[in-house]
């Protein structure tokens, strides 16, 4: 599978300085991805529930993702206007979104990579 250019270049974002040094087109793309992450997760969970129901399973893989739209909008605003004010939580969200777009194009539309936690 192919890694996206954004993922290769920026993942993982370690500090707000990484966002400051990002070019304007990549910032715009990141903001677009941030604004669509809630819908992406909802679609993935619905598809997973549907596949499980079709297969006769009672359980299915679900992504637990709970940031609200206001929080995501505030992170987008910080990226656009004052990236040095990003908190560690904001940077974690950016890394989640970059990881979501680990693969390019059509692959990322069907495959939602899950970050392994220990």
- Write out pLDDT tens, residues 79-116: 999 999 999 999 999 998 888 888 766 666 566 666 65
Residue ranges of domains in the chain: 5-110
How many helices (H) does the chain have, and how many strands (E)? 6, 0
Distance CA 50, CA 116 (A): 24
Q: Which pLDDT score, from 0 to 100, does residue 26 have?
A: 92
Omega prior to 104 cis, within 30 of 0: no
Instruction: Quickly state the pLDDT bin for 53 (edges 50, 70, 90).
Output: confident
pTM of the model: 0.79
pLDDT for residue 1 is more than 60:
no
């Amino acid at each position: 599978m192919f890694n996206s250019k954004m993922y290769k270049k920026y993942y993982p974002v370690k500090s707000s300085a990484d966002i400051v040094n990002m070019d304007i087109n990549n910032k715009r793309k990141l903001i677009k991805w941030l604004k669509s992450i809630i819908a992406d997760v909802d679609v993935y969970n619905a598809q997973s529930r549907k596949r499980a129901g079709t297969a006769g399973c009672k359980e299915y893989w679900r992504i637990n993702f709970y940031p609200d739209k206001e929080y995501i909008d505030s992170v987008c605003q910080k990226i656009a206007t004052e990236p040095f004010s990003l908190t560690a939580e904001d940077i974690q969200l950016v890394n989640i979104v970059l990881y979501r777009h680990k693969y390019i194009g059509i692959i990322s539309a069907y495959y939602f990579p899950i970050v392994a936690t220990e």
